[in-house]
Structures are given as structure tokens and as C-alpha cells.
Amino acid sequence: MRSAFGLCLLASLSACSSLAPAYHPPSTPDPAHWQNESAAPAEPGWQAAQPSDAQAKGDWWQLFNDPVLNQLTQAALAHNPTLAQAQSRLDQAKAQTTMAQSELVPTVGVAAGTSRFGTSKDRPLSAYTTPNQHVTQNDFNAAFSASYEVDLNGRVHSQIDSAKALEVKSGADFENTQLLLTAQLASSYFSLRTLDGDIALLSRSLRAQKKYIDLLEDRHQQGLTSGLDLAQQKALTSVLETQLQGLQDQRSQFQNAIATLTGQAAPSFALAALPDSGAALPQAPTIPLSSPATVLERRPDVASAERSMAAANAQIGIARSAYYPSVTLGSLLGTDANQGPLFLSGPAALWSLGLSAGLTLFDGGRIDANVSSAKAVYQQTASAYQQTVLNAFEEVQDTVNTRHALAQNQTALKASAQSARMAFELTQARYERGAASHLEVLTNEQIWLGYERQLLQNQGQQLVNTVQLVKVLGGGW
């Protein structure tokens, strides 16, 4: 075993660093502020990225204080097949890193065997002065073997660097998959709850309109109103019923999407609607913004793109290692005897220690082409990283702008809805005194209902926009 120990010692002394270029984190745009969040945006610059996507993101969906959303999210994290695939890819990347690191140590094995065989007397002569004999023999053998590739060209270290970068990339991809999953689930859930509120609003209005039909029928029989008023009221009721059916169909589609996201079959999944008393939507929580560069360093997709650059940089070192010789050491220590009692005797011992080396002298430019190809792939990943960063800035800025617009619209819609309701109530009172027509009542009621629905939809859009903002910012922090 001393030869195997010598190999281990030589392995520790002969380790070589990677031949890849020195890797530096890429630079990212560095504006000081987001538009609509400060007095004036700064001119864009560039700074070195310091990815911080590994920080704990927390259960950001709990900011909405919705127990049903919390339960659905936990179900999605536990049972969504797409997330399970991402976890398996991460496990695979971890195993590949271990495989790459295993090449830093010698491979040690043991083998043993026994056989009984006979030689032919009529076989060709190996020596013409000595006749062949028919011999029957036993063979008992056992041996320890060790081999090690000396990393003089840095190939193994480059492979390890690449595997580690890809492992971190897979981790970032998993986080990104989880973020997209939870954001899509929350968006679908709040869209469904917005429809619940809209359905409740239309249902209350429909019940009131049907009661109003009964009232108009009584007034028509008494000759206090015309048949035109009654026909108009029935037409309005039919329109509301049609709209209600359309909203219920939209709700079923969001319900089916939620079922799929949580790993459940749509036909067997149902999400109860909120009662009319609880149909009001929650207030969207405030999501604070930090500086743009800091935000982007937290996004898993940006971190994944940066790790792709690091892995591609290590691949350059792997390609360059072909310029240098490969050296492999091998040793064997064992015993071989034709009789069992002699198996452990001194004369039965056998051993070997050897070295093999190889170097490519001419390959028609293949190694040069591989190095050039690796450098080109690195440039592609660098460009892809910058594009990912720019896309991320665009997504965040668009979401911030939408948040600003929705907040302004809410104030105007609240005032409009209040004014429209007052106008409807006044017109209805005038109609009961005979000072206004039924058409005026219907018109003002429709205007009021339209503003109420717009206000409700705006609140739902603010919730979805908040979820979108969490997503484009890289999760909760």
C-alpha cells in the first residue's frame, strides 16, 4: 500500500490551478432612482455586480394576510410538478459537482479471483527446444490498484469551477421557478377574488332590479307607469344576467389555473366564493423600493445569468488544458499463486508502479478552435447577462409606473363613484315624485354601477400589480 500512499502524496503536491481567465463579476447599470419614485432619475452608469440572491426571501405572500392564499401557496410549493423538476435539476447539479471534485483524489480499487485451467499439449511451440506439456493448474490472485491523473494542465480544477458555477446557477433557477410559481398563483388568486367582488356587486344589483320589476308591474297594472318602463327594466335585467354569466366563466378559468398550480386536477378542485359581506378586496401592502442596482442583484434570473458567465469562463480553462500534456500514475500491489497455501507467501507477491503521459503534437487546429469556441460562448453569456439586466430594469420600471397610475386612478374613481351614487339616488327620488323618467333612473344607475365596478377592478389590479412588483424585485426581502 505504500505505492498508493505515494500516489496520494504526489496528488497533493502536483495540484494545479485552473487555466481559465481570472473571473470578475460583471458590471450592471447603476441608476440612482426609479422614475415616479424620486424627483429625478440619475444618469445611468455601470458598477460591479455583487449577487445577493442567496439571501433568505421569506414568505412574501403572507404580507396580504389572506389565510386561503397562504394555504394554496403551501400546497403549490409541496405539490407543483414544475417546481419538483427544478429541485431535481438542482440535485443533479450538486451530484455533478461531487463527480468533478472526485477527480482530485486517486481512484483505489481491489480485485480478487480464482480459476482452474488446463493448457493444450498440441499448442504451438513457444520454444523449439522444449516440447509442450499438458498442464492443469489453479490460479489464486488478489490485488489493490490505484491510479491518479496529475492535474498539471488545470483541467480538473476548471471542471470543478464550472460545476460549482452551474450548481449555483441551478439553485438560482430553482429560486426563480419558485418565485414565478408563487407570483402566478397569487395573481390568479387575486384576479379570482376581484371577480368574486364583481359577481357579488352584480348579483346585488340584479336582485334589486328584479324587485324593481315587481314594483313596475304593480305600477303598470295600476296605470301609474307605461309598459315602456317595464320593458326597459326587463331588458336591463337580462343584460346584467348575461354579464354575470360571463364573469362566472372567467372565474372558473382562474379556479382551474389555481388547481393546476397547486398540483391538483381541475375537475376535482373548487375554491369557494367569498360571501357578499366579505367580498371587499384587501388593501394592497406597500412594497418598499431600494436602489435599482441592489434590487437587480437579488433577482434569481440575473444571478443565474451571472453564474452562466462564470461556468463559461471555466470552460475556457478546460479548452486551454489540451495544450499541455496529460500525466497519469498507476500502481498495483497484490499476490498471485497456483496453490491456496502459497497465496499469502512472500514469493507470491506482485506489484507495479508506472507513469504514462501524452501530448497532442498536431491536430489540424482543433484545440485552437475549441479555445476560440469557448471564448465565443463566454461572450454570448456576457451579452445574455447584460440583456437580462436591462430586461429586469424595464420590468421593474413598468411595474412602478403602473403602480403610480393605479394609485392616481383610485382617487379619481372613488370620487366619481360617490358622485354617481348621489346622482342615482337623487334621480330615483325624483322619479318616485314623477319629476324624472324611468330612463333617467336606468341611465344614472348604470353609470353608478360602472364606476363601482371600475373601482373594484382598480383595487384588484393594484393587488396583482403588487404581486408583480414583488416578482420583478426578486421576491420578498
| Identity of the residue numbered 273 | A
Residue in the block written with cell 314623477: 434
Backbone angles phi, psi at 58, to 5 degrees: 80, 170
| Alpha carbons 33 and 295: distance in angstroms, whole number | 11
Each residue of 27-58: b (16+ CB within 10 Å) or e? ebbbbeebeeeeeeeeeeeeeebebebeeebe
Residue 281: pLDDT band by 50, 70, 90 thresholds? confident
Calpha distance 427→438 (Å, rounded): 9
Q: Is residue 337 part of a domain?
A: no
**Cα angle 198-274-410, degrees, rounded to a multiple of 5:** 40
Task: Evaluate whether residue 313 is within a structural domain.
Answer: yes
Specify whether the CB–CB gap between 93 and 166 falls below 8 A: yes
Measured CA to CA, the distance from residue 3 to residue 147 in angstroms comes to 10
Q: Which of 149, 183, 141, 463 is nearest to 299 (CA)?
A: 183
Cβ-Cβ contacts under 8 Å for 300 (sequence gap 6 or more): 53, 172, 173, 175, 176, 179, 474, 475
Q: How far is CA 247 from the centre of its chain?
A: 32
The per-residue pLDDT for 458 is 92
Strands 136-150 and 27-29: unpaired
| The one-letter amino acid at 218 | D
Task: Specify the number of domains making up the chain.
Answer: 1
> Quick check: 173 pLDDT over 60?
yes
Name the least confident of 198-202, 230-234, 299-303.
230-234
Is the pLDDT at 172 greater than 90, yes or no?
no
* pLDDT of 176 above 60: yes
**Rounded average pLDDT over 192-198:** 91
Write b or e for each residue in 423-445: b if 16 or more Cβ atoms lie within 10 A of its Cβ, otherwise e.
bbeebbeebeeeebbbebbbebb
Note whether residue 333 is domain-resident: no
What DSSP character marks residue 328? E
Give the span between the Cα atoms of 167 and 92, in whole angstroms: 8
Give domain status of residue 304, yes or no: yes
Q: Is 144 inside a domain boundary?
A: no
Assign residue 438 the CATH number of its domain: 1.20.1600.10
CB-CB contact of 97 with 167 (8 Å): yes
| Residue 258 pLDDT | 95
| Alpha carbons 194 and 406: distance in angstroms, whole number | 15
Cβ neighbors of 139 (< 8 A, separation 6 or more) are: 113, 114, 115, 116, 117, 336, 337, 338
The answer to whether residue 139 is domain-embedded is no
Q: Is residue 4 part of a domain?
A: no
Q: Are 327 and 150 in contact (CB under 8 A)?
A: yes
The amino acid sitting at 300 is P
**Residue 38's pLDDT is what?**
46
Q: Is residue 116 situated within a structural domain?
A: no
| Alpha-helical segments (H) within 141-226 | 155-221
Q: For the residues 74-89, what does the mean pLDDT come to?
A: 92
Which domain does 444 fall in, by range?
Answer: 17-105+151-323+366-472
Those residues with Cβ within 8 angstroms of residue 341's Cβ, 6 or more apart along the chain or in another chain: none
d(CA 176, CA 97): 21
Average model confidence (pLDDT) for the chain? 82
Number of Cα atoms under 13 Å in the Cβ half of residue 352: 9
